[in-house]
Structure 1
Amino acid sequence: MLEEEILNQIPCNWADDIEKAELDDRTAEIRPSVIVGFAEQLGLKTTGSLDKIIIRLAKAHGVTKKKERESLRKTCIQSAKMDIFAERYGHLFQKDENGELSYSIPMLKKISGLPLDE
């Protein structure tokens, strides 16, 4: 199936159909792994509470704990939306050699609603 045909099958406002409770649950579910994953990428200590890990991340990024927490919140929401998208529309997309769904930049723009640079 051509990319244009795939894009035409996905409503522009597809994420508006996600129930708030579903998005909140999914976001809460992935939050710990996202926070620990970012800490691991930066080589930070991942022991202790999530709050302590967030403080370490904030220090590493040179931002306040509040800004780090907000950034992580947005990242978790986007990640949850991508998971929900994959469940609803993943059958339309090809998978890469690792079995992961493969998206082009135009597709990611439509999926995420973010202004991604090509």
Structure 2
Amino acid sequence: MDSKEFVKAMIRQRGGREQPEWTWMAEVDPEYMKAYNRLTQSAFGLYAEGDEYPCVLPAKIKELIAIALLTGQRDWERLPVHLERAMDLGATDREILEALQTAMVITGGPAMRGGIEMMLRIRKQRGEVKES
């Protein structure tokens, strides 16, 4: 598979979301990106074709873990991707809130607040929450 085909497969595996930095890396160093992608697929429970990878933790739980970690790191750029994946996998607002609360205990209130703001912004964009 050439790098362009690999990038297309990688985008499909990530739910149709292209991340320009990963596309760039796949073009510049395709072997590294293929290895990185295999690791990511295993970690999040998906094969490139979208089939489930045999994991003990369900993909939704893995996304909630990612949400807590990214919130703790205050990675507001990557957090929306994982919030949307968790929502797509059926995560409730309460489940997401508990992941954010877990991050808050370790990293502080501002991290939790930022995560809640991001979740509400995404819910609003999806038409799933009314303005208050």
Q: TM-score, normalised by structure 1?
A: 0.27
TM-score (norm 2): 0.25
Relative CO higher for 1 or 2, CA cutoff 8 Å, sep ≥ 6? 1
Instruction: Work out which of the two has the higher radius of gyration on C-alpha atoms and give 1 or 2.
Output: 1
